[in-house]
Structure 1
Amino acid sequence: MTEVVDLLQRLIRLDTTNPPGNETAAAELLRDFLEPAGVECELFARTPERANLVARIRGRGDGPSLALLSHTDVVLADAAEWSREPFGGEVVDGEVWGRGALDMKGEVAASAVALATLARAGWQGAGDLMFVAAADEEVGDGFGLEWLVQAHPDAVRADYSLNEGAGDRIELAGKVLYLCATAEKMSSPFLLRVHGRSGHASMPSIADNALVRAAPLIERLGQFQVEPQLIPEVAGFLRVLLGDVPQAENALTVARGIAPLAAELIEPLLAMTVSPTMARASNKRNVIPALCEVTVDVRILPGQTPEDAEATLRGWLGAGDYDLVNIERQGGTRSEIGGPLWDAVQSFVSAEEPGALAAPICVAGFTDSHWLREAFGTVAYGFFPARAMDSETAARLIHSADERVPVSDLELGVRFLRHAAQAVCG
């Protein structure tokens, strides 16, 4: 059994379901693994049971720093839906099973092993190599990286960082591509408040039902369309794939002509997306509601603002007796495509699989990377290579039953993180 498999099994067997998290147990396990290898470790916690680990191999002080980002919390796992114990960490047919195997204790284990093996070999870069195993990524209640950049900025400040978000190996148009996430959309949900007049449900004609008034607005939101645009990440992806970049209005058609997967990758990245997901009206069956509140999930492109989104939504819905309130803004950051970190990704891909290419992409959701980009201007990529399990299977397993990761992908990830550390830190 390899070191990364053993460590991942031990991490999976610690139930860090968030809420409540209890990530301190994972942080202490990682510290106990790393310190004997000579890696400097420190725990930072807003509350004792929600600790974040920051591990470091200090550099000589004359080069750039690299942070390997990860999180140790996981989402709920219902054992009744699983074929195996979700916190068992079993190895079956060359795969490690358990909640967090893909999201993202596998990368946690690989990052720790990369640091430990480099430290044991006596490696020292020109700049610091850091490993941040953060709490609270899945919920985001202010116990993890968001809190660290505010309360302990010097502990996590980095020139470059690597995190989850991409790394999938895909084959399209006769080419092998490894996706590298260089940007993320912003989560910018809105609350649509539709007004009416309450009354007794037995006499509907004397009231003005806000729920009924909301129905055509919800239907309109479900039909939302806007002119497509090509952000740099999608243009870069298409350039690697096609050797050329089509016009924005033709991009989806061209992608569909290549393969359904190509279209699935770029479609949510051509414009802001709008999805009504929750509605609340009367709390009693016999009361006609005077107010209906509809939660609308909105994801906007890097460079767009919630104010832009609000103007677009109002233009789409038209005038009416409703309010539209932005209730969150997270993510929506990007890093340059190119430079030392991009070169490290491309050189690794080429060495592991001659002829394969790294292709930029934007994450349709968002990760903790945005905290470093916003706080320090960090060049942050999402890249943890995976080729034994196809991307569509992995996508179905994340946050779902029977989550598992191939051992060979864990070992591939360790090799990449070691390579990136030596290439970027010098």
Structure 2
Amino acid sequence: EIKDGYLYGRGAIDDKGMGVAELVVLLQLKRANLPLARDVILLLEADEEAGGKFGIEFLVENHLDKIKAEFVLNEGGRIITDPNNSKNVRFIGVQNTEKVPYNVRLVATGTSGHASVPLKDNCIFALSKALEKISAWQPPVKLNPTTKAFFKGLAKDEKFPKSFFLKNLDTPLIGKFCSGLVAKSDPILNSTMRNSISPTLLNGGIRSNVIPSQAEVTLNVRLLPDENIKDFVQELQKVIGEDPRVKIVYDSSPHPHTPASPTDNELFQAMEEVGKKLSPEAVTVPLMSTGATDASHLRAKGIPTYGILPFPLDDNDLGRMHGQDERLHLDDLEYGIKYMYEVVSWVCKAN
């Protein structure tokens, strides 16, 4: 539905808007009959929200020869606007790496019985105590080359004292103070600095008058690149303590190694130049997305992959993603199409 200049609908931002922009770019290139120095391949596939097993994972394992390219443009980054003026683009964050998702379960056991006779070893109490400890835990700040460059870019446009905090997130003596203030101010920046945990699923009990013998919670864990899930679980065990009633269950299979895509090539340069052209005040910075995308499967095959959501979105509209009244302003859709066309034609047109 189009209303008051906005396109409303599930996927308007994530990720049908991006798909439409890429399709329009391909049509524009064809209609302009632009001489191309490189092939341009449009790939639209499903299952990204569930890990990509029946989408990108299937394609890279069975049909890599059809999609292998010198560069890939994908979703995953974002255009950051001025909080007081959504038309003023401040930063263009290009995703060149991402956090790695794992699901970890806490399984608590206890004695089952009639709810009219309370029991001290109630498994729900044991599980809630473990969750309370996890809630109070803040994993340490760990910056990598991408996040260092990202925070450095943010600091350039901020005034003191926020610029000072952003520059000193991991500085000895004051880093903990600075990162604490930044973490409180922005949950996305908080997740960008460290490994993270979000409880997402609870399961326990079969009737309201029966004390269950087992209860469990699923923790959605997002690890920084190059972090090890086994090491993380060991730290998590220290946090919840050695309670014999609570076990940590997880899949220890390693995820494919996906090194960060470089920022010293033609595609990244094109994104920098087009960003300056469309938004002269904006700075293009590499970005590590807190969420997972199909890009990890392509990077694992050695294909430099870059994520960008090319629409200037304010925090209000960005927060509607996966939620109620997801929407995309038609002006922002137009900006995104123009950005993508300029980038692709810059990289692909023949001299």
| Corresponding residue number in structure 1 for 2:162 | none
Counterpart amino acid of residue 214 in structure 2:
L
| Corresponding residue number in structure 2 for 1:240 | 153
| Corresponding residue number in structure 2 for 1:304 | 227
Aligned partners of 1:221 and 1:276 also within 8 Å = no
What pairs with 1:79-158 in structure 2 (closer than 5 Å)? 89-90=1-2, 92-140=3-51, 142-158=53-69
* Deviation by residue 1:313-332 (Cα, 9 ceiling, x = unmatched): 11212212132122487798
Q: TM-score, normalised by structure 1?
A: 0.70
What pairs with 1:11-410 in structure 2 (closer than 5 Å)? 89-90=1-2, 92-140=3-51, 142-171=53-82, 176-205=90-119, 208-242=121-155, 245-248=167-170, 250=174, 254=178, 263-321=186-244, 322-327=246-251, 333=258, 334-374=260-300, 376-387=301-312, 389-390=313-314, 392-410=315-333
Instruction: Say if 1:382 and 1:288 are closer, same or farther in 2 by CA, change over 3 A.
Output: same
Instruction: Say if 1:331 and 1:347 are closer, same or farther in 2 by CA, change over 3 A.
Output: farther
State the secondary structure of the residue aligned to 1:295.
Answer: strand
Instruction: Say if 1:254 and 1:198 are closer, same or farther in 2 by CA, change over 3 A.
Output: closer
Q: Distance in 2 between matches of 1:306 and 1:383?
A: 28
Quick one: higher RCO (CA 8 Å, sep 6+), 1 or 2? 2
Aligned partners of 2:89 and 2:279 also within 8 Å = no
May I ask how many residue pairs the two structures share in their alignment? 332
Post-superposition offset of 1:137: 2.2
Aligned partners of 2:182 and 2:189 also within 8 Å = no
Instruction: Say if 1:175 and 1:157 are closer, same or farther in 2 by CA, change over 3 A.
Output: closer
Q: Which runs of 5+ in 1 are unaligned?
A: 1-88
Q: TM-score, normalised by structure 2?
A: 0.84
State the secondary structure of the residue aligned to 1:129.
Answer: coil
Instruction: Say if 1:115 and 1:175 are closer, same or farther in 2 by CA, change over 3 A.
Output: closer
Instruction: Say if 1:251 and 1:394 are closer, same or farther in 2 by CA, change over 3 A.
Output: farther
Q: Distance in 1 between matches of 2:319 and 2:154?
A: 25
CA RMSD of aligned residues (A): 2.9
Instruction: Say if 1:203 and 1:258 are closer, same or farther in 2 by CA, change over 3 A.
Output: closer
Post-superposition offset of 1:290: 2.4
Q: Distance in 2 between matches of 1:293 and 1:272?
A: 22
Post-superposition offset of 1:235: 0.8
Post-superposition offset of 1:171: 3.6
Instruction: Say if 1:200 and 1:148 are closer, same or farther in 2 by CA, change over 3 A.
Output: same
* Deviation by residue 1:15-67 (Cα, 9 ceiling, x = unmatched): xxxxxxxxxxxxxxxxxxxxxxxxxxxxxxxxxxxxxxxxxxxxxxxxxxxxx
Instruction: Say if 1:96 and 1:214 are closer, same or farther in 2 by CA, change over 3 A.
Output: closer
Q: Distance in 1 between matches of 2:328 and 2:89?
A: 24
Aligned partners of 2:310 and 2:335 also within 8 Å = yes
* Deviation by residue 1:179-238 (Cα, 9 ceiling, x = unmatched): 222221111120111222333334445x83222222211111111222212222221012
Post-superposition offset of 1:401: 2.6
Counterpart amino acid of residue 318 in structure 2:
A
* Deviation by residue 1:301-360 (Cα, 9 ceiling, x = unmatched): 111122122112112122121321224877984322332221111101111122321022
Instruction: Say if 1:274 and 1:383 are closer, same or farther in 2 by CA, change over 3 A.
Output: same
State the secondary structure of the residue aligned to 2:48.
Answer: coil
Instruction: Say if 1:379 and 1:291 are closer, same or farther in 2 by CA, change over 3 A.
Output: same
Q: Distance in 1 between matches of 2:346 and 2:177?
A: 38
Q: Distance in 1 between matches of 2:22 and 2:36?
A: 16
Aligned partners of 1:221 and 1:275 also within 8 Å = no
